[in-house]
Amino acid sequence: MTVKRIDQDDVNEMNGREKIEKSRDVSDAFDEEDEVDTAGLMAMYEESFKPVEPGQIVEGEVVSIDRDKVLLDIGYKFEGEVAKKEFADIDGQVDLQVGDRVEVYFATRDEEGYPILSRQEVQTEKLLDRIGELYESGGTIKGRILSQVKGGFFVDIGIRAFLPASQLDVKPAKDPEEWIGTDHEFKILQFDKAERNVVISRRVLIEARRRQQQEEALQRLQVDDVVTGSITNITDYGLFVDLGGVTGLVHVSNLSWTPVRQHPSKIYSVGDEVSVKVLDIDTESRKVSLGIKQLTPNPWDTLEQQYPKGAVIEGKVKKVTDFGIFVGILEGINGLVHVSDMSWTQTIKPSDYYHKGQNVQAKILDIDRQKERVNLGIKQLYPNPWDELPGKYPPGTPIDGKIINTADFGVFVEIEEGIQGLVHVSELPPGEGGNPLSEFQVGQEVRARVLEVLPGEKKIRLSMKSGVADKSKSKTAQKTGKSQTAASADSPGPGDSDTAFGQLLREKIQDQGNGEEGEDSY
């Protein structure tokens, strides 16, 4: 259909003639009705025009359609123009005919009094009204993220809205560019129609959904339930597991019945599916405590049944310290062999005898269930030599040994490996210048006799008096006429032990009578 182009002046002239005709019709009406006065005539004249003011949405009739503009009669004294593109659909097509009635927004008047109209503003005004309703009711609106700006994003919700970066998600976006062009549901946080300012959020909707899911999950879960979840985060203190609506914590202390010596991330990975037991539910704080070790029996509960006191175990050395070694008994359960339980006769340095990974045997000495400790012993695998020494070395028994140490109060003589006795200064023969110690030095071979063995104190008292002399002093003993006594002491005959004991007793009594009893500092 061909549309004749009409200039604005022609339109104004036509409208003027039309309005004059209307005025004539009104005048004729008054001629016919003599009762109507002049004031009424003017009222009817004014009524022929609509009271249209800027800021309103008005309905107008399409008067003409140009290449770029559409002329509308809105009942005002002047027609108004609207850009043709404002009537275009999504494909850019304009489906409009002369005579059609459409809604437009009367924005303002130009300098000559002509109305400035907008079709787009009609849609915007209606959208703003709808946004206002949604804001008041707490509803949501769909939109597409258009671009990233300082502090957030611009989103198209029909008009441009601002989405703060903190309101995009529950956690910061690693790559904001990935969100450009994506569609989402948003909640309106702030709205000012006059300023056309809209602030929206996606985060509050996610949090609301999570709260709802938490409520449902907390109602569903019960203490002692065994459920499966996905690990969402790993920290120094444990694992966070998503149970489908609520996240629970497996504290590091609940990962294993035995101490966890490494970081949890060395054992588990984010995304791993794990089975857990519900230990506790705090509905107020929405916290759920979970456990993994509780899915298996506590090995400490049955350890004493498997390894009762006195049982011998074999395991690998897990750790060597200055105070002892730790030996593996079961997976994750180690026992301590204290340095004092390594040898009956020696105080040894553990690192000189043991190394990590070495297989050793030990005896269970004690199990402390409350403190989860096991005490082990290695020396207990063998008889205590001190229990045999009283029978092996009765009083009066002569011994040959090497001096291993000297002190102000006497000399220490090694009787056998790891066993030593003390010869107190009061039990040493007189030395040159009255100093008994002057005749002895470390490494010197000597001969002595046993005074007494004290197994509980791990002590042996010796004497070098009464003719039982140092081999190096044998010649001195001969010169003093005592060689025969020394020879008889070297080769005692049957019954000599009683004679030696009687002699020892007499000498002891004599020493006490002479006030020669020395201080025993051993």
CATH number reported for the structural domain that contains residue 323 in this entry? 2.40.50.140
**491 and 398 in one domain?**
yes
Specify the DSSP class assigned to residue 125: H
Determine the Cα angle at 328 with ends 317 and 351, to 5°.
20
Q: Which residues contact 506 (CB under 8 A, 6 or more apart)?
A: none
Q: Would you say 78 and 115 are in contact if contact means Cβ atoms under 8 Å apart?
A: yes
**13 and 57 in one domain?**
yes
**442 and 456 in one domain?**
yes
Below-70 pLDDT ranges, the chain: 1-52, 90, 432-433, 466-522
Q: How far apart are CA 288 and CA 494, in angstroms?
A: 85
Q: Which residue carries 């993220």 as its tokens?
A: 145
**314 and 269 in one domain?**
no
**500 and 395 in one domain?**
yes
Buried b / exposed e over 491-522, threshold 16 CB at 10 Å, is: eeeeeeeeebeebbeeeeeebeeeeeeeeeeb
Residue 180 lies inside a defined structural domain of this protein: yes
Q: What confidence tens digit (pLDDT) does each residue in 61-111 have?
A: 899 988 888 888 888 777 888 888 888 876 778 888 899 998 888 878 887
The residue among 333, 345, 322 whose CA lies nearest residue 376 is 333
Which helix H or strand E contains 240, and what residues bound it?
A: strand 238-242
Residue 215 lies inside a defined structural domain of this protein: no
pLDDT of residue 426: 87
Q: How far apart are CA 166 and CA 202, in angstroms?
A: 9
49: Cα separation from own chain's centroid: 76
The residue among 237, 232, 236 whose CA lies nearest residue 271 is 232
Q: How far apart are CA 65 and CA 207, in angstroms?
A: 52
The residue among 395, 417, 375, 362 whose CA lies nearest residue 468 is 395
**426 and 507 in one domain?**
yes
- 64, HSE (Cβ side, Cα atoms, 13 Å): 18
Residue 33 lies inside a defined structural domain of this protein: yes
Bridge partners for 250 per DSSP: 239, 290
DSSP 313-373: EEEEEEEEETTEEEEEEETTEEEEEEGGGS-SS----HHHH--TT-EEEEEEEEEETTTTE
Asked which of 356, 381, 406 is the last residue of a domain, the reply is: 381
Q: What confidence tens digit (pLDDT) does each residue in 29-40 have?
A: 545 554 445 666
**110 and 172 in one domain?**
no
Bridge partners for 435 per DSSP: none
Residue 72 lies inside a defined structural domain of this protein: yes
pLDDT of residue 496: 39
**419 and 375 in one domain?**
no
**109 and 38 in one domain?**
yes
Residue 66 lies inside a defined structural domain of this protein: yes
pTM of the model: 0.47
Which helix H or strand E contains 51, and what residues bound it?
A: none
**414 and 493 in one domain?**
yes
What is the amino acid identity at position 177? E
Helix (H, G, I), strand (E, B) or coil at 377: strand
For residue 112, the enclosing domain spans: 8-118
Q: How far apart are CA 455 and CA 47, in angstroms?
A: 132
Residue 3 lies inside a defined structural domain of this protein: no
pLDDT of residue 46: 55
Residue 159 lies inside a defined structural domain of this protein: yes
Residue 396 burial class via C-beta count within 10 angstroms: exposed 0-12, middle 13-18, buried 19 and up: buried
Helix (H, G, I), strand (E, B) or coil at 380: helix
pLDDT of residue 244: 85
Q: How far apart are CA 173 and CA 171, in angstroms?
A: 6
pLDDT of residue 112: 80
**Structural domains in the chain (count):** 5
Residue 350 lies inside a defined structural domain of this protein: yes
Asked which of 381, 410, 432 is the last residue of a domain, the reply is: 381
Asked which of 270, 295, 320 is the last residue of a domain, the reply is: 295
What is the amino acid identity at position 212? Q
Q: How far apart are CA 302 and CA 373, in angstroms?
A: 14
Bridge partners for 448 per DSSP: 399
